[in-house]
């Protein structure tokens, strides 16, 4: 299993500002994943973060809006840039076990943009 520490757990931010979310994993992992879960919705993959290369973004998500860092095999950050109320959501980081039989998630960051 993997233990993921994600912070902040929640934040209320002014529109136009940026927030950086951090995830620390207790073991080395090749890929880390960032998801968004909007109210009443399921998880949508934002991007996949590989150590030593640029993140791979899913359709509808761009690097300028959601820059990601992956400086080593246990840590990643997601920044939500130039926020608007539509960015209010829960953001979760995730890793997958060896053999990809299970995904583990951070506790989530509940973001409210006012």
Partner 1 sequence: RKEVEQDPGPFNVPEGATVAFNCTYSNSASQSFFWYRQDCRKEPKLLMSVYSSGNEDGRFTAQLNRASQYISLLIRDSKLSDSATYLCVVMMNTGFQKLVFGTGTRLLVSP
- Positions that interact with partner 1 (CB under 8 A): 31, 33, 41-45, 48, 92, 96, 100-103, 105-108, 110
Nearer to partner 1, 14 or 39 (CB): 39
**In 3D, which of 92, 96, 95, 91 has the Cα closest to residue 112?**
91
CB of 16 to partner 1, least distance (A): 27
Pair 104, 4: CB distance under 8 Å: yes
CB of 46 to partner 1, least distance (A): 12
Nearer to partner 1, 92 or 113 (CB): 92
CB of 43 to partner 1, least distance (A): 4
Nearer to partner 1, 44 or 82 (CB): 44
Q: Which long-range contacts (CB under 8 A, 24 or more apart) does 43-50 make?
A: 43/92, 46/78, 46/91, 47/78, 49/76
**In 3D, which of 36, 8, 19, 16 has the Cα closest to residue 84?**
16
């Amino acid at each position: 299993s993997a233990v993921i520490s994600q912070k902040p757990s929640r934040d209320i931010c002014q529109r136009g500002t940026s927030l950086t979310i951090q995830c620390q994993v207790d073991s080395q992992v090749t890929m880390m994943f960032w998801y968004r879960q909007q109210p009443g919705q399921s998880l949508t993959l934002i991007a996949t973060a590989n150590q030593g290369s640029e993140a791979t973004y899913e359709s509808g998500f761009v690097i300028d809006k959601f820059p990601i860092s992956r400086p080593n095999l246990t840590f990643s950050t997601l920044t939500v840039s130039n926020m608007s109320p539509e960015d209010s959501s829960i953001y979760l980081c995730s890793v997958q076990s060896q053999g990809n039989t299970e995904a583990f998630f951070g506790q989530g960051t509940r973001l409210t943009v006012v």
